[in-house]
């Protein structure tokens, strides 16, 4: 006896749509990416422009800027981060729930930019893990949108079976530098920075934890 229950394709037997769980989960995740805007400089102006009606990030699923890290999926660090702000950035990242992604927007967030000075973090990847780097000073809204679409692309390739590997987080690592000393050295090296030059000069003692004399002889 045939079932006369109306299905979505008309009357007949119930219809099914089969797919992979991975596909559905990734589809849902990548199309509802709520950004946590961490804007500290002129890049934030471009980020605001991207969210405004002309570029309208909401088209891509960044429906609203989530000013609470607990409801955000992707951290957009837009602008330079001084060392005084580093623990704040780290805490916001630690407060975001999994799954979470991070975008480093602009030259300063990615490498310190022109601010190769005593007060500036030389790339936020020494503080938090970064998924996508957007070059530019500042990047245009198209750049940010392209970066977010790269995050979407990255999400499409994720698999729930690799959850433990992709989303692994050590609770003991909260609030600690993401990169070790050697890694910080490597990360900060190629950008015209800094530590190597100080070392070469021989005038500056590096890796010193003691407070040095304020005046050179």
Partner 1 sequence: MNKAGSNPFAMVDEGPKPSDATVFPEDAPEAASAPHPSVEALRDHFGDAIVAHEVCAGDQHVVYVDPARNVEILSWLKADPGQHYDHLADLTAVDYGGGRPIQVVYQLWSIPHKRALRVKAELPLSELEIESVAGLWRCADWLEREVADMFGVVFAGHPDPRRILMPENYAEGYPLRKDFPLRGRFSRAEQTRRALRQNPEDDYFPAEMGDREPQLVASVADDEDDESEEVNHGD
Tell me which residues touch partner 1 (CB under 8 A): 83-84, 86-88, 90-91, 116-119, 121-122, 126-127, 175-177, 179-182, 184-185, 188, 193-195, 197-198, 200-209, 211-212, 214-216
Q: Which of 143, 160, 147, 49 is nearest to 101 (CA)?
A: 147
- How many C-alpha atoms does 6 have within 13 Å on its Cβ side? 1
CB–CB of 100/82 below 8 Å?
no
In the complex, the smallest distance separating the C-beta of residue 163 from partner 1, rounded to whole angstroms, is: 27
Toward partner 1, which CB reaches closer, 59 or 215?
Answer: 215
Residue 133, beta-bridge partner list = 104
Phi, then psi, of 181 in degrees rounded to 5 = -55, -50
CB of 151 to partner 1, least distance (A): 25
| Distance in Å, CB of 101 to partner 1, minimum | 21
**Given the complex with partner 1, which of 52 and 117 has the nearer CB atom?**
117
Q: Is 97 exposed, middle or buried (0-12, 13-18, 19+ CB in 10 A)?
A: exposed
CB of 6 to partner 1, least distance (A): 54
Q: Which is nearer to partner 1, 134 or 184 (CB)?
A: 184
Residue among 77 and 148 whose Cβ is closer to partner 1: 77
Q: How far is the CB of 123 from partner 1 (least distance, A)?
A: 10
Q: Which is nearer to partner 1, 6 or 129 (CB)?
A: 129
């Amino acid at each position: 006896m045939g079932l006369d229950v109306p299905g979505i394709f008309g009357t007949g037997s119930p219809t099914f749509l089969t797919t992979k769980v991975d596909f559905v989960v990734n589809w849902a995740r990548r199309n509802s990416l709520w950004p946590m805007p961490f804007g500290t400089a002129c890049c934030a102006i471009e980020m605001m422009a991207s969210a405004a009606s002309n570029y309208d990030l909401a088209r891509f699923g960044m429906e609203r800027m989530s000013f609470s890290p607990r409801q955000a999926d992707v951290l957009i660090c837009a602008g330079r981060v001084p060392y005084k702000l580093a623990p704040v950035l780290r805490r916001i990242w630690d407060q975001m729930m999994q799954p979470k992604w991070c975008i480093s927007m602009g030259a300063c967030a990615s490498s310190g930019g022109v601010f190769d000075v005593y007060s500036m973090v030389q790339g936020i990847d020494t503080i938090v893990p970064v998924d996508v780097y957007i070059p530019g000073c500042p990047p245009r809204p198209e750049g940010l949108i392209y970066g977010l679409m790269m995050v979407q692309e990255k999400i499409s390739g994720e698999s729930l079976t690799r959850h433990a590997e992709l989303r692994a987080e050590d609770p003991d690592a909260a609030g600690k530098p993401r990169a070790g000393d050697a890694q910080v050295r490597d990360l900060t090296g190629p950008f015209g920075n800094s530590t190597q030059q100080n070392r070469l000069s021989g005038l500056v003692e590096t890796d010193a934890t003691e407070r040095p004399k304020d005046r050179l002889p």
